[in-house]
Structure 1
Amino acid sequence: MELPVLKTEARSETGKGPAHRLRARGLIPAVCYGSQQNPVPIAVSPKELMDILHGPRGLNSLIRLQGATERTVVVQDFQRDPVERHLLHVDFLQIDESKVIRREVPIEFTGKAEGVKAGGVLQIARRSVLVEALPAQIPVKIELDVGALLIGQSIHVDQVRLPEGVKAIFERAYALCSVVAPSEEKAPVAEAAPAEGETAAAGAEGAPAAAPVEGAAAAPAKEGAAPADGKGAAPKKEGGGKKG
Structure 2
Amino acid sequence: MEAIRIEGKKKTETKKSANKRLRKQNFVPCNIYGGASGNTMFYAHENEFNKIVYTHKFQKAKVVIDGSEEWEAIIQDIQFHPVSDRLHHIDFLELVPDKKVITEVPLTFKGVPEGVKEGGGKMIVKRRSLKVKALPKNLVEEIEVNVEELGVGKAMQIADIAFSEIEILDSPEYAIAIVASPKAMEGAAIPEPGEEGETEEGEEGEETEEGEGGEGEESSEGGEGSGSEGGEEEKSE
Please tell me the TM-score bracket, short chain as reference. 0.5 to 0.7
Residue 107 of structure 1 deviates from its aligned partner by: 1.0
Question: For residues 14 and 58 of structure 1, do their structure 2 counterparts lie closer, same or farther at Cα, with a shift above 3 Å needed?
Answer: farther
The TM-score normalised by the length of structure 1 is 0.65
Aligned twin of 1:126: 127
Aligned twin of 1:61: 60
Residue 136 of structure 1 deviates from its aligned partner by: 2.7
Aligned twin of 1:167: 167
Aligned twin of 1:153: 154
- Report Cα offsets for 1:148-192 as digits up to 9, x if no partner: 111121111111143x42222234421111112233757xxxxxx
Q: Distance in 2 between matches of 1:107 and 1:178?
A: 14
SS of the equivalent of 2:35 reads: coil
The answer to whether the 8 Å contact 2:126/2:176 transfers is yes
Aligned twin of 2:136: 135
The answer to whether the 8 Å contact 2:57/2:105 transfers is no
1:145-224 alignment, distance < 5 Å: 145-162=146-163, 164-182=164-182, 183=184, 185=186
User: What is the count of residue pairs matched by the alignment?
Assistant: 184
SS of the equivalent of 1:60 reads: coil
The TM-score normalised by the length of structure 2 is 0.67
Instruction: Please tell me the residue identity of whatever aligns with 1:62.
Output: A
- Report Cα offsets for 1:183-226 as digits up to 9, x if no partner: 3757xxxxxxxxxxxxxxxxxxxxxxxxxxxxxxxxxxxxxxxx
Question: For residues 142 and 58 of structure 1, do their structure 2 counterparts lie closer, same or farther at Cα, with a shift above 3 Å needed?
Answer: closer
Instruction: Please tell me the residue identity of whatever aligns with 2:142.
Output: K
Q: Distance in 2 between matches of 1:5 and 1:108?
A: 25
Question: For residues 150 and 64 of structure 1, do their structure 2 counterparts lie closer, same or farther at Cα, with a shift above 3 Å needed?
Answer: same
Residue 76 of structure 1 deviates from its aligned partner by: 0.7
Residue 54 of structure 1 deviates from its aligned partner by: 5.0
Q: Distance in 1 between matches of 2:44 and 2:185?
A: 55
Q: Distance in 1 between matches of 2:126 and 2:120?
A: 19
The answer to whether the 8 Å contact 1:77/1:90 transfers is yes
The answer to whether the 8 Å contact 1:19/1:29 transfers is yes
Q: Aligned Cα RMSD in Å?
A: 2.6
Q: Distance in 1 between matches of 2:125 and 2:105?
A: 15
Relative contact order higher in (CA < 8 Å, ≥ 6 apart): 2
Residue 81 of structure 1 deviates from its aligned partner by: 2.0
The structure with the largest alpha-carbon Rg is 1
- In the alignment, structure 2 segments of 5+ residues that lack a partner are 188-237
Identity %: 29
Aligned twin of 1:220: none
Instruction: Please tell me the residue identity of whatever aligns with 1:108.
Output: T
Question: For residues 114 and 58 of structure 1, do their structure 2 counterparts lie closer, same or farther at Cα, with a shift above 3 Å needed?
Answer: closer
The answer to whether the 8 Å contact 1:65/1:73 transfers is no
SS of the equivalent of 2:47 reads: helix
Aligned twin of 1:26: 26
Question: For residues 98 and 36 of structure 1, do their structure 2 counterparts lie closer, same or farther at Cα, with a shift above 3 Å needed?
Answer: closer
